[in-house]
Amino acid sequence: MCQSKPFMGVHNPLRALENFPISGIPIGQYGGLVRALAEVKLAAVQTNAELGLIDPERTQAISKACEEIIAGKHHEHFVVDVIQGGAGTSSNMNVNEVVANRALEILGSARGDYQTLHPNEHVNIGQSTNDGLPVGHQAGPAVLY
């Protein structure tokens, strides 16, 4: 795996870092939060698979990517500022894009091949920033212990 090319896409760091350079502290420095957000994505993909909304191959790749993040890998790719305006859309997209691009690698595809696996259409399916981020924020401290 190439460590020099980031897992995030166009939504960040380009847009988020330009729009919200508030504290200079990336969410990746908060491992409990990043792990909790990955737990939310893992639970969502498992539920979506049970509902037949996503195929088994994508489910396995997304699940593996989430499990790697939960295990502490790839946190350097979570670069959006911990303090942002809005409802946390930048954080949610950062998670979606890191998971999607790592899942693409697991599938043997290139990062950014969003026709194969898309951050919104597959990783974020059936989710809202207004739900996922509060759950992650509430679970984050619990993950630390």
Residue carrying the six token digits 């303090």: 83
Domains delineated in the chain: 15-136 (1.10.275.10)
Q: What pLDDT, on a 0 to 100 scale, did the predictor assign at position 19? A: 62
pLDDT in tens, 113-126: 999 999 999 999 99
Reported as a pLDDT band with limits 50, 70 and 90, residue 2 is: very low
Q: Which two tokens stand for residue 85?
A: 């305006």
Q: What pLDDT, on a 0 to 100 scale, did the predictor assign at position 124? A: 95
pLDDT in tens, 77-123: 998 888 876 667 888 889 999 999 999 999 999 999 999 999 999 99
pLDDT in tens, 51-62: 999 999 999 999
